[in-house]
Each structure stands twice: as C-alpha cells, then as structure tokens.
Amino acid sequence: MLMDAELASWLALNQIPGLGNEGLRRLLQAFGTPTQVFATPVHTLQQVVQPAIAATITQGWNEEKLAPIASWLADPHNHVVTLADPDYPQALLNISDPPLLLYVKGRLELLNHSALAVVGSRNATPQGLSNAEAFAQAASAAGLCIISGMAHGIDAAAHRGGLREYGSSIGIVGTGLDKVYPAANRQLAHQLAQEGALISEFSLGTPPLAANFPRRNRIISGLSLGCLVVEASLQSGSLITARMALEQGRDVFAIPGSIHAPQTKGCHHLIKQGAKLVECAQDILEELGHFPASTTLQSSVLEEHPLLMHLGFDPVDMDSLSQRSGLTIGALSAILLQLELDGDIATLPGGLYQRIN
C-alpha cells in the first residue's frame, strides 16, 4: 500500500528515538508540519532539539520501517489520526499533553462522541462488576460512549455494558494495536474493534510496558466529560486517572461501598476530596448537564428472597448468616446455592457470600 507523504512524515517523526511528545511539539511549534521539520537544516534543528536527534531527522525516514504500518492501514477498519486531522478528538486538544497521533481500530466517529470514563479495580468484587456494567449500560443507553482501559475487572465490565447500547464503547490500550493485553480479553478486544473502537498512541509492536499505562490514563480521562470510579483501593491506578480528570477540568464521580472493603477505600477517599457520590446513572447524567433531568433510567422492582435482607450488601460468612437468619447451615446451603444460580449472590474466597443485585 502506498502511504500519503504527509502521514508518512507524521509517523516517521513520531518514531525518532529520544524525541518524545514534548520534543515533537517544540519542533512543530518552531517549523510547522512534520514535512517542514524534515526539510529544516540540521544547524537550525539543533536550536530546538539535541544534536543527535537533529542529525537523525535530517537523514529522512526509512520507508521499510513504515511498511508494517502501511500494511496495517490496508484494513479499512484501521486508521492513524494525527493532530492535524479533522477526525482528531477535539476533547484531547484541551489537555496539557495531547498525543500527536493516534492509532485507531474501529469506528472513527466515536472519537468525537460525548463520553464517560468508567474505571476501577482489576480485582473487583461481584457487586463492583455488576455496578460497572449496569452504570455503563445506562449511560450508553442515554447516548454516552463508555471509555475505559481494557483491563481485567471493572474496565472489562464497563466495556461490556457500553457495547450493549447506542453509545457503544472505546478501549484505550497501553500497547500497539497489533497486540492484545491482557490476552484473556481477546474476545472483548475483537468486539470493541467491530462495534466500538480501540485506540493507542503507541506504535505497532509496542509491548505492555509498565510506563505506558499511566500515559494511557490521561487519554481515558481526556476523551470524557467525566470519570466514574466504581471500585478502587487506595493504591489503585484508577486514582491516577481520577486525578488526571480533575486536572483536565472533568467531573469525577465515585460509587460508595462498605467501610470494611479495601476495594472501596479509594472511592471514599475521592468523595472526601470532593468527588461526587453517585448511587445511580441518573445522578451522573444530570450532573453532566448534557442530558435532561427528566431522563428516567429506573430498574424494575422485583420481589426478592427474604434471605437477601439478612445477607445485606457486605460479604458475610455462613456462620454469621445463620445467626442473623435463624436458619441451619444445611438450610442456608440449599438457599444460597439457588440464589447463586439465579444470579442474586456470588461466592467469594474464604467462604464468604455477597449480594450482587
């Protein structure tokens, strides 16, 4: 496939070793387009970047290095969007460190769609996964695209919920788009590429390096009107995304939980710091002001098993549940098995049970 010379210059400049986003921006501010940068004499380039980088730039670009990208772009679902492209997400132009280009697999129109970021723990509870999926589905039904990071746990649940409705979902990844990480989310990645989109600022072939994921987080928050944290420990990377959202002027929302659960400590910390406590998706839609307050997203009220009242919403062991309900262990075992089959509870490590509806 023949590649447009302007796009080739963007890709080639982005691959200069040691240059980075900041160096790229300085060059573009000084000389204009990437094509003009490559045409600039070395002594002039040295006024903006280090001599070694300037010398590399003046050597031009190697067509062979761009061949894998050209081959990848032969698929009509694959795109490279540069800062000068009309399809570039306008929301990212308002952050302090916008990526100079984005690799996109899937629906380009979603890049400029109103969006909500949904993030949280990789080691989520059953209730957390249920909340993430339900909130994301409700927001997607109201027209918001769901943005998350394709990780295990809350991220994956949010993508699943978003894909079920009109707003769809975008996965922001920390690898090249020719790789899937984590591998267990391969089917989810395929669905996002077909029905939503996958986005990366990293070149094809980039492995899942630890330093890539904090950089990915600024895109998750930057693309969105607001950021919802579903579950997060105090050390969770989700708090980094929430902090970036605040720095970018986005709203931050958090779902409260048990005071005893480590997975909700981060959410409670955010609420103390000023994040908006939310109990349903309607809270978020009204706060964003993008949707009318009359929008109703209510779940139907179902008759529930009496044991669920004794179970509560915190994880509980069998002995405690027996004391609360007055039922024998044998009777409880049969009821809990049926409730699990019905999808009302989940079993946790350590012989604990938790209500999820």
pLDDT of residue 2: 55
Q: How far apart are CA 57 and CA 289, in angstroms?
A: 47
Residue that finishes a domain, picked among 13, 39, 67:
67
Reported as a pLDDT band with limits 50, 70 and 90, residue 289 is: confident
Residue that finishes a domain, picked among 230, 253, 288:
288
Asked if residue 75 is part of any domain, the answer here is no
Whether residues 273 and 317 share a domain: the answer is no
User: CB 299: neighbour CB atoms within 10 A?
Assistant: 9
Per-residue pLDDT tens over the stretch 238-260: 999 999 999 999 999 999 988 88
Whether residues 126 and 273 share a domain: the answer is yes
The helix/strand/coil state of 116 is strand
Reported as a pLDDT band with limits 50, 70 and 90, residue 303 is: low
Whether residues 193 and 314 share a domain: the answer is no
Asked if residue 98 is part of any domain, the answer here is no
What's the total number of domains in the chain? Answer: 3
**Phi and psi angles of residue 276, each rounded to the nearest 5 degrees, phi first:** -85, 125
The mean of the pLDDT values for the chain is 90
Asked if residue 200 is part of any domain, the answer here is yes
Whether residues 205 and 337 share a domain: the answer is no
Tell me what percent of the residues of the chain surpass a pLDDT of 70: 95
Whether residues 32 and 4 share a domain: the answer is yes
CA dihedral 41, 45, 46, 47 (to 10 degrees): 120
Range of lowest pLDDT (124-138, 217-231, 322-336): 322-336
Residue 133: domain span: 108-288
Reported as a pLDDT band with limits 50, 70 and 90, residue 294 is: very low
CATH number of the domain enclosing 251: 3.40.50.450
Asked if residue 50 is part of any domain, the answer here is yes
Whether residues 221 and 341 share a domain: the answer is no
pLDDT of residue 313: 73
> In the structure, how many helices (H) and strands (E) does the chain have?
16, 12
pLDDT over 50 (residue 299): no
